[in-house]
A and B are shown apart, each in its own frame.
Chain A
Amino acid sequence: MYSGIVAMALMAVFAVVFLYALHRLTAVAASPVEVLPAQSGWMPQEHALSRFHVRWYMASIVFLAFDVEMLFMYPWAVIVIERGLSAVVEMFLFLGALLVAVVWAWREGAFRWA
Chain B
Amino acid sequence: MPIHLALAQIHTRLGDVQANLEKHLDLVKQARKAGADLLLFPELSLTGYVLQDLVPAVACRPRPGDPLFAPLLEASRDLDLVVGFVEEDVRNRFYIASAYLSQGKVIHVHRKVYLPTYGLFDEGRFFAPGEAVRAFDTRFGRAGMLICEDFWHASPPYLLWMDGADLLLFSSASPGRGISAEPKLASSAWVEHTNRAYAGLFTTFVAHANRTGFEDGLNYWGGSTIFDPNGDLLVQAPYFEESLTVTPLDLNQLHRTRARLPLLRDERPELVQRELERILAHA
Report if A and B associate in a common complex: no
Which residues of chain A have a CB within 8 Å of any CB of chain B? none
